[in-house]
Structure 1
Amino acid sequence: MFYDPRSEDPKALGFTHNPWNALIAPRPIAWISTRSGAGVANLAPYSFFNAVSGAPPFVMFSSAGRKDTQRNIEETGEFVVNMATEDLVAALNDSCFPFGPDVDEFQRAGLTAVAARHLHHAPRLEETPVSIECRLSQIVELKTAAGAPVRSAAIFGEVVGIHVDERIIRNGRVDLALARPLSRLGYMDYAGLGPIFEVLRPESEPQERVAPYG
């Protein structure tokens, strides 16, 4: 099976839904909190998201169209990435509804907005075990390889503060099994963590492997 997403409709090839969103998976979910210039808090999930630098830390998410989140970031230069967790999935789902810019999603989802440490506008989510305070670095309006504009923009933020609930720290490390982060799989599918296993990086040149793996 092969198709060119620029010119072919995957449904014409037998797919019931566009498979693209399910191919890069699982994806972490950035539950992004902002505040508008008028003072209205906003909370919305984005699964086109990831960390893009370690030292110094940066994050990036993509918005398809200038939604309230992007407009608020443009106005204030701030946002907070809150960890979406399994126990908050119902509230997460409520917050993804396309409310108007005058609606506070924290209130509608029964959640609590609290002040950030280094930010003056964007609040963080009290109920999550991890919140990451960010200042806007840049917004990149995406274009095709031929230079044509598209709806999506990539928003980069410099991490200026990290909140970690002590309840998920074990032996000096964040225990993700306790945090129970939620991930997006595509379509309407989500997942938590399965069994966690550790893989250490090789300290010497590894032996050549022979397929098949098993």
Structure 2
Amino acid sequence: MTFAKRTDFDPATLERRDFYRLLTAVVVPRPIAWVSTVSAEGVDNLAPHSFFTVSCTEPPIVQFTTVGRKDSLVNVEQTREFVVNLAGERHFEQINATGTEFPAEHSEFERVGITGEPSALVRPKRVAESPVALECVLHSATRFGDSTVVFGRVVHAAVHAEVLEDGHPRIERLRPLARLGKDEWATIGEVRSIPRIRYAEWPGHYGGQE
């Protein structure tokens, strides 16, 4: 088999921005945490973070990374609470707009036209338009170079009833957005389903079929 020639990239010699653009172009698609926080002065903040995932299931912990000291990080450090709102396809332009670096005394909810609603257990508002909101309290934060990974323990989940079927969220109703490289975004596209093969059922295994 003949393989295509590779091009080598050395993070030690490339400009930081250039290697960042390479990483975000190949680590794709990335789910988006639409993070709402509130400052110590009571200013609501809302920003998208595409370095986001689940960290632990028991206790339930999610994480997002902020590059530099953005308002989301400052607010979480001050109040120790935040909400991860699902970033849905129909709010694409508003989600992108909340990535604008507004001054800290400005609320993205107001500037972008997002409706806030009270959370059940934390101070930051939820995004009323978002079908899922994960209310979190700060577990810990770890600094790596120019970035900080924020870990939050999920203390409450609020899900719009219309995206549920038999108590479970349906992906075609959630319609989540994902980030790609450059200014590119993605929708869910084709959804495939396949069950995981148990070792006992693996072909050739004594408990499986030959």
TM-score (norm 2): 0.88
Cα 1:96–1:10 change in 2 (3 A) is: closer
Among 92, 96, 100, which residue is 2:99 paired with? 96
Please show how residues 112-127 of structure 1 align to structure 2 within 5 Å: 112-119=115-122, 121-127=123-129
TM-score (norm 1): 0.87
Q: Of residues 195, 202, 206 in structure 1, which corresponds to 2:202?
A: 206
Deviations 1:155-207 (A, max 9, x none): 10000000111100123321010110000111111111112121212232423
- How far did 1:9 drift? 4.5
Identify which of 181, 184, 202 aligns with 1:186: 181
Q: Is 2:44 aligned against 1:38?
A: no
**C-alpha displacement of 1:8:** 2.7
Cα shift at 1:151: 1.1
The partner residue of 1:3 within 9, 17, 20 is: 9
- Aligned: 1:167 with 2:162: yes
Taking the aligned partners of 1:195 and 1:9, their CA distance within structure 2 comes to: 36
Q: CA deviation at 1:18?
A: 3.1
Quick one: which amino acid aligns to residue 130 of structure 2? T
Contact 1:139 1:154 in 2 (8 A): yes
Report the counterpart of residue 84 of structure 2 in structure 1: 81
Which structure 2 residue ranges, 5 or more long, are not aligned?
A: 1-6, 205-210
The aligned residue for residue 141 of structure 1 is 143
SS in 1 for 2:176: coil
User: Is contact 2:21-2:181 (8 Å) kept?
Assistant: no
Task: Give the C-alpha shift of residue 10 in structure 1.
Answer: 9.3
Q: 2 CA distance for matches of 1:179 and 1:167? A: 9
Q: Distance in 1 between matches of 2:16 and 2:149?
A: 25
Asked if structure 2 preserves the Cα contact closer than 8 Å seen for 1:130 and 1:164, the reply is: yes
1:125 Cα deviation after fit? 0.5
Question: Does the 8 A contact of 1:78 with 1:134 survive in 2?
Answer: yes
Instruction: Give the match's secondary structure for 1:3.
Output: coil
Q: Distance in 2 between matches of 1:140 and 1:129?
A: 29
Shift in Å, 1:19: 1.6
Structure 2 equivalent of residue 69 of structure 1: 72
Residue number in structure 2 paired with 1:211: none
Q: Summarize the Cα distance change of 1:52–1:10 in structure 2 as closer, same or farther, 3 Å threshold.
A: closer
Contact 2:33 2:87 in 1 (8 A): yes
* CA RMSD of superposed structures (Å): 1.9
Question: 2:44–2:109: 8 Å Cα contact kept in structure 1?
Answer: yes
Q: Give me the whole-angstrom Cα distance separating, in 2, the residues matched to 1:100 and 1:45.
A: 16
1:82 offset after TM fit, Å? 0.3
- Between stretches 53-62 and 40-49, larger displacement belongs to 53-62
- 3-state SS of paired residue (1:19): helix
Looking at structure 2, the residues matched to 166 and 155 of structure 1 have their Cα atoms a distance apart, in angstroms, of: 29
Query: Does residue 107 of structure 1 match 2:110?
Result: yes
Tell me which amino acid in the other structure corresponds to 2:183. M
